[in-house]
Structure 1
Amino acid sequence: MSLQFALELARSAGEIIKEGYFKQKVISQKCSIADLVTETDTKVENFVQKKISEQFPTHEFIGEESVSNGAKISFTDSPTWIIDPVDGTSNFVHRFPFCCISIAYAEKKKVALAVVYNPILDEMYHAELGKGAFLNGAKLSVSDAQNLSSSILCSEWGSQRDATMDTKVRNMHKAVLASRGIRSIGSAALSCCMVARGSVESYFEYGIHCWDVAAGELIVREAGGVSASPDGSPFDLMSRSVLVSCCRQVLDETSACIERIPFDRE
């Protein structure tokens, strides 16, 4: 698989995001007031899907907006692209400069290539399985923190506005008492990248989708970090949950703070 193709695709898609960033937006609401979609989300996904289909006509495609419009998630051993056209749409709408395109390529259900590009800050993250993780060409490495008490965490409230919020409040409360603090930047992919670059030590969330973290999870691991489900069991891309950390000790201590929130697998 061509890394150069994925990088060029991300940069071209980023130009579409950047073009829409400062413009008046047409905004629609999906499942809640915090779950938004704009014409840019759709435009980027259509562009990316077209380019992938032209280059790799036999490959499968999973995209956030396609699924929102009724497409079924089919994650098989076939070569598959997993795309979030604009991760952090609410940030994009409000011009909070943490939004990105997330591109992951998987073979036999294993992500082998990942690109996350924030065009507003011009930060291009990428990783290939077994080859390390990079930000604008510079090699990334996770923090050397060894315990939660010397760590900063990322977590998110997500787009659900239902009974799961009570559990999320309890989880945030436990985690902030055990750490140096929690940051919420509004993008799952970029939260993973914050762990990969050593800016925070751990990130956890329930309610995310495969396209939110497929790329970011590989970038963390290739930067020397670890991943799991929030309960500490092996990471499952389709489980609607994620926990990534700089090391196993921080991951285990973060997991101990987290009360499970059940979501059906995708």
Structure 2
Amino acid sequence: MVKKMQQAKDDPWQEAYDFAVEVARKAGEVIRKAGECEIKVCTKSSTVDLVTKTDERVEKIIIGCLKEKFGPDTYSFIGEESVAQGKPCILTDKPTWIIDPVDGTTNFVHGFPFVAVSIAFAVEKKLEFGVVYSCLEDKMYKARKGKGAFCNDERLQVSDVQDIHKSIIISEHGTDRSPEKVTKIFSTMQRILCIPVHGLRGSGTAATNMCLVACGAVEAFFEIGIHCWDIAAGAVIVREAGGMLLDVDGGPFDLMSRRMVSANNKIIAERIIKEIETFSVERDDAVVCKK
């Protein structure tokens, strides 16, 4: 007992990290079973921004498990479905769970086999660990700050490719279908393809895309319009696998900005940034910023 108490004092977040892995797997099982039944679909910001009862149920399960384990008032929470229902998206210095219960909802609805549970944990606005469970593949990606990144307990390492012409880049279209933004998205993709690169891909889930960077399957992932819950866990995993994160203009990565380039190295990241046609998106914490 004394030894366990000393370990907890020396490493206060290990228990939370281990439990996050356990909860992510439990949530993944719920998603898999739901995929075998009828899926009831609703929309949020547009006809292509989908949400299902499974998204909402899984988030409640995750948050409920965390509150039961650690107490209802110990931590703050930022959850995709909670924010969609009007709760604030505020990252404070208080220890905070950042949750995407079903990353890749459109994939889930259509049976496209990339769907992930994403759970991250931040303290004093700094990410401490991240867990991404690609539940249809049964791949558990996880990382703690300063302790490496793993997939099913196998250590991850980003690609060592430095020649952009030998790279695969991954990106997404997002859910905003305004002609101006769609034009810029496809113009950027065209410019990157014409560098040329080996290929341009997209799995339909930002969390999985970042894990693909971490495991060396692709050299970079970029997107404008993603949210903090999409990328928080993946950000830890990429960094701990030896990769890097930047803003799409080359500046420092900002979790709440909804703009990100994650890459295996600075050479690849900066080359991609030269081709990105940026457009404005409202920050995740925009309501706070306006006060």
Distance 1:237 1:145 in 2: 26
The code of the aligned residue for 1:172 comes to M
- Could you report, residue by residue, the CA deviation over 1:50-100 in whole angstroms, capped at 9, with x for unpaired residues? 111122332000000000011111210000000000000000001111001
Listed as ranges, the matches of 1:88-237 within 5 Å are 88-162=104-178, 163-178=180-195, 179-237=197-255
> Tell me, which stretches of 5 or more residues in structure 1 are unaligned?
none
How far is 1:239 from its partner?
0.3
Aligned partner of 2:278 in structure 1 is 260
State the TM-score, normalizing by the size of structure 2.
Answer: 0.90
The code of the aligned residue for 2:131 comes to V
8 Å CA contact 1:22–1:95 kept in 2: the answer is no
Question: Given the alignment, which residue of 81, 100, 104 partners 2:97?
Answer: 81
Identity value in percent: 46
How far is 1:231 from its partner?
1.1
Question: Given the alignment, which residue of 19, 30, 45 partners 2:44?
Answer: 30
The code of the aligned residue for 2:19 comes to F
Aligned partner of 1:246 in structure 2 is 264
How far is 1:131 from its partner?
0.4
SS in 2 for 1:82: strand
How far is 1:264 from its partner?
2.0
Aligned partner of 2:66 in structure 1 is 52
Aligned partner of 1:70 in structure 2 is 86
How far is 1:181 from its partner?
1.3
The alignment's C-alpha RMSD in Å is 0.8
How far is 1:217 from its partner?
1.1
Listed as ranges, the matches of 1:10-25 within 5 Å are 10-25=24-39
The code of the aligned residue for 2:163 comes to N
- Could you report, residue by residue, the CA deviation over 1:178-219 in whole angstroms, capped at 9, with x for unpaired residues? 211100110000000000000000000000000000000110
- Could you report, residue by residue, the CA deviation over 1:31-55 in whole angstroms, capped at 9, with x for unpaired residues? 1222100011001000011111122
Which deviates more from structure 2 when the two are superposed, residues 83-92 or residues 16-25?
A: 16-25
SS in 1 for 2:130: strand
Distance 1:22 1:33 in 2: 24
Distance 2:44 2:283 in 1: 20
Distance 2:241 2:229 in 1: 20
Please list every run of at least 4 consecutive aligned residues from structure 1 whose deviation after the TM superposition is greater than 4 angstroms.
none
The code of the aligned residue for 1:228 comes to L
> Tell me, which stretches of 5 or more residues in structure 2 are unaligned?
1-12, 285-291
The code of the aligned residue for 1:28 comes to C
State the TM-score, normalizing by the size of structure 1.
Answer: 0.98
Distance 2:192 2:235 in 1: 21
SS in 1 for 2:232: helix
